[in-house]
Amino acid sequence: MTTDVRPTQPALSRPRRKTRVVRVGSVVVGGDAPISVQSMTTTDTRDAAATVAEIRRLEEAGCEIARVAVPDREAATVLGAIKREIGVPLVADIHFDYRLALIAAEQGVDCLRINPGNIGERSRIEAVVKAAKERRISIRIGVNAGSLEEDILERSLKASHPLLAVQAYRLMAEQCDYPFHLGITEAGPLVPGTVKSSIGLGLLLAEGIGDTIRVSLTADPVEEVKVGFEILKALRLRHRGVNIISCPTCGRLEIDLFRLAAEIERRLAHVTEPLDVAVLGCVVNGIGEGREADFGIAGGKGVGLLFRKGEIVRKVKEAELADALVDLVESSLRHSALTPAG
């Protein structure tokens, strides 16, 4: 389905919807291309330095396509300067004024996101399409329920209610073979937004619908990228970086697992190879529950077990567990003891 599915994992039962291939700069969207994860900046786009800094943070988190709002002419004219400083494709988000799209195209962006519901008459949309065609820039048609006139609201594709969005995408999937950008718009703060996005995007992705995703959160956009990859990891559609398998803890717990799990997640955040790392509270269930993991620890009374592929490597004092696990993962990656998937 995608190139970085781990071979041992069960696949989804529904095959991916067949879509045509579209290029967003260096990123292929649609067809058999991996489902890409994108985000949108929160900075004032006119402040090019701040916008570049935020996009670089997004890139570090794995973001593959970055979108910026283009509210006015000044924002449109700095797009070229932003584009030159970043590695990921740049999407200009345009509402209302088609002339901003024309400037963005001249500035060399990789994709124009327009909303035909508010761009106005047909000739304006045609002018944008012509400019994009001349420069081989892709266009994303983004239709948010909140941005539409009442008369076309009922036909909206992107909505903040996940089930409404799911229905709309399903209907559209029957009508065309364009690749879909999935998003639950204005989903909310970190926790409710993650839940709504996971349900909406998860249902669709499990049905094979969706070619690129953006989790929209009222939070640091880096969180959007992290949640996006977690959704794809949970569905076994992509596996980038460390997948932490940690237990919820219970009365058997004898170590500070919350702190340990957070520390290990932070210290292995730089790993991009697909790895399952188990951080479990006790040996009673720890080894068994973590058997499928590439590496792991299981806590005990002041001491824990370090294991690899379900085999015990050695006993380690609690205070040294995080160091021992991180060292084992990093040294194994250095020696290519583990073959990354895809």
Among candidate residues 36, 30, 38, the one with its CA nearest the CA of residue 217: 38
Ramachandran class of 210: left when φ > 0, alpha when ψ lies in -120 to 50, beta otherwise: left
For strands 65-69 and 90-94, give the pairing: parallel
- Choose the binding region for ligand SF4 from 81-89, 161-169, 186-194, 279-287 (rule: CB under 6 A): 279-287
**Number of chain positions touching ligand SF4 (CB under 6 A):** 13
Sign for the pseudo-dihedral over CA of 157, 158, 160, 165: positive
Q: Which residues of 54-89 are buried (b: 16+ CB within 10 A; e: fewer)?
A: bbbbbbebbbbbbbbbbbeeebbbbbbebbeebebb
300 binds ligand SF4 (CB under 6 A): no
What is residue 277's three-state secondary structure? Answer: strand
Closer by beta carbon to ligand SF4, 10 or else 248:
248
| Of the residues 28, 285, 292, 309, which one makes contact with ligand SF4 according to CB under 6 A | 285
286 binds ligand SF4 (CB under 6 A): yes
Using Cβ positions, the residue closest to ligand SF4 within the complex turns out to be 281
Closer by beta carbon to ligand SF4, 252 or else 301:
252
Site string for ligand SF4, 222-261 (x = CB under 6 A): -------------------------xxxx-xx--------
| Of the residues 183, 241, 281, 300, which one makes contact with ligand SF4 according to CB under 6 A | 281
Minimum distance, C-beta of residue 260 to ligand SF4, in the bound complex (Å): 12
Minimum distance, C-beta of residue 294 to ligand SF4, in the bound complex (Å): 18
Q: Using an 8 Å Cβ cutoff, are 221 and 42 in contact?
A: yes
- Choose the binding region for ligand SF4 from 21-29, 99-107, 152-160, 282-290 (rule: CB under 6 A): 282-290
Residues 76-115 interacting with ligand SF4 (rule: CB under 6 A):
none
Closer by beta carbon to ligand SF4, 104 or else 257:
257
Closer by beta carbon to ligand SF4, 25 or else 300:
300
Residues 162-221 interacting with ligand SF4 (rule: CB under 6 A):
none
- Residue found under tokens 């370090």: 306
Sign for the pseudo-dihedral over CA of 141, 45, 165, 16: positive
284 binds ligand SF4 (CB under 6 A): yes
- Choose the binding region for ligand SF4 from 44-52, 221-229, 277-285, 306-314 (rule: CB under 6 A): 277-285
Q: Which residues pair with 214 in a beta bridge?
A: 38
The rounded distance, in Å, linking the Cα atoms of 200 and 202 is 5
Closer by beta carbon to ligand SF4, 130 or else 252:
252
The rounded distance, in Å, linking the Cα atoms of 221 and 203 is 23
Rg (alpha carbons) of the chain, rounded to whole number: 22
Closer by beta carbon to ligand SF4, 183 or else 300:
300
Query: Mutual orientation of helices 221-234 and 48-60 as an angle, nearest 10°?
Result: 20
Minimum distance, C-beta of residue 317 to ligand SF4, in the bound complex (Å): 18
Minimum distance, C-beta of residue 257 to ligand SF4, in the bound complex (Å): 7
The rounded distance, in Å, linking the Cα atoms of 321 and 136 is 53
Closer by beta carbon to ligand SF4, 7 or else 248:
248
Query: Mutual orientation of helices 321-334 and 257-267 as an angle, nearest 10°?
Result: 30
Task: Specify the amino acid at residue 24.
Answer: V
Closer by beta carbon to ligand SF4, 275 or else 278:
278
Contacts with ligand SF4, residue ranges (CB under 6 A): 247-250, 252-253, 280-282, 284-286, 289
